[in-house]
Structure 1
Amino acid sequence: MKVYELTLKVYLLKDIYQGQTLERITEIIDSSLISTENFRNFHNSKSFKHYTFNSFYRLEEDQVYKAGKIYSVKIRTVDEMLVEHFKKNLANAYTEYIKGLTLDCRILVKKHIEKLYSITPSIIKTDQGYWKGHLSIEDYDRRLRENLIKKYNHYFNTKLDEDFELFYRIELNNHKPIGSSYKNVKLLGDKLTLYVAENKIAQKIAYFSLASGVGEMNSRGYGFINYKFL
């Protein structure tokens, strides 16, 4: 397993507000995917996509990303075919808001991971919407864990024995939900710190999660995480 990190340089054609950044980046990635038949089918499928991405860098203090400026976006995946597709197509993609410029690729080194921490909000949805008030912290922990294991099983076509510790501690780092816009709906999520257990499979899943993201809607940019090595 290799986690690929692609750095896409983009030029903004219009201003983009902070709460809309993930939606606008999703649009340019989607425009790349639907440019070929194979990846159009991949894009339209309901299965896990096994990639995620962060928001624009550098940050803007007034939370408005400016037309006429260049920013970078990091995209991660474990899928080599997807990497090759992005290398061929993503730098040439464009939307009403964003034009691709260049794309670089590296492999994230695999070391013992002490903890994972959110860069973009992690989403766990319930039938009632945002999870607080509807799930206990124990249920939230279980949903995060089950989601990661399902993604791992799906990608590797396996079924893990789930009798192992994955995270021994979870911290919620925001005092109130973090809102983002997606298709005219305001999604609420959380910034997390996840302390990874020492066992071998927990470490494998933690490394995998750098590409898959944590929580739901990862191919829309949610649940993108960074890491601290031991």
Structure 2
Amino acid sequence: MKYIEAKISVELKKPVHFQYAPELISNYIKEAVSDSENYDYVFSNLGKANSEGMFEYDGVIALRSFSQEFIDKAVKNLLDFENEHFKTKNIYTFTSSFQPINTLYTLNPAFVLIDENIFWTFKSSGDFELLEKLILDDLVEKYERNFGEKLEDVKSFIKIMNIKNEKPFSYMYDDKKYFGYKVLINPKEDEISQKLAFTAVGCGLGHKNKEVGGGFTKILN
């Protein structure tokens, strides 16, 4: 198992708030890769916003996928690319191979859908078992889709999960609010759990990975 990451340095044409930046990044990627819907991927926000939550001048987008083909397309088409919001400055790529994971932390909130229009929050649900099941089911689907290996009867991959904020973060996409939480997860040590944890790093934890970079995750070991 390995994922490929492209670090994309961009110049901002105008300041943007951190809640709106992910949609602009998503559109920037989709403009460059016309068949992006065929791949699993996730991306970071632009970096650290200022005290008012704004990105003003420059940013760095980390784009991850298990698909070398997708990253190659993105790099080729984003070089020297610009739109009304971003101008690409430079790109470099590297590969990260599977490693044991003690702790995952979501740098972007994880957005988890209960149904088509309702996100898991303490207000809409508060059911932790449901949250874990939705996260697990999504990761199993991603793993099977990316690696062609069927996983049978996986009950759980999480040993401990801590939700780091009481009120959900909200990101905007297509004039709708997405509600999510930053989470800290200690996965179980067995092989399948570790593979699912690494899947979360390579293409995102939870839903809305392509739309707003939901669940862009860092390994804390």
Per the normalisation by structure 2, the TM-score is 0.92
Report the Cα distance in structure 2 between the residues aligned to 1:211 and 1:93, rounded to whole angstroms: 24
Report the Cα distance in structure 2 between the residues aligned to 1:2 and 1:122, rounded to whole angstroms: 22
Q: Give the aligned residue type for 2:209.
A: N
Q: Give the aligned residue type for 2:2.
A: K
Tell me, yes or no, if structure 1 residue 65 matches structure 2 residue 37. no
Q: Deviations over 1:59-78 (max 9, x none)?
A: 32221111xx2211111111
**Partner of 1:108: helix, strand, or coil?**
strand
Shift of 1:110: 3.0
Q: Could you say which residue in structure 1 is the equivalent of 2:112?
A: 124
- What do you get for the CA RMSD once the two structures are aligned? 1.6
**Partner of 2:60: helix, strand, or coil?**
strand
The equivalences for 1:1-230 within 5 A come to 1-34=1-34, 39=35, 42-43=36-37, 49-66=39-56, 69-127=57-115, 129-132=118-121, 133-134=124-125, 136-163=127-154, 165-220=156-211, 221-229=213-221
Unaligned runs of 5+ in 1: none
Question: How many residues are paired up?
Answer: 217
Q: Deviations over 1:105-138 (max 9, x none)?
A: 1112432110111111111123462323336111
Shift of 1:53: 0.5
Q: Give the aligned residue type for 1:103.
A: I
Per the normalisation by structure 1, the TM-score is 0.88
Report the Cα distance in structure 2 between the residues aligned to 1:134 and 1:83, rounded to whole angstroms: 36
After superposing on structure 2, the runs of 4+ consecutive aligned residues of structure 1 that deviate more than 4 Å are none
Percent of paired sites with the same residue: 22
Report the Cα distance in structure 2 between the residues aligned to 1:214 and 1:195, rounded to whole angstroms: 13
Report the Cα distance in structure 2 between the residues aligned to 1:122 and 1:189, rounded to whole angstroms: 5
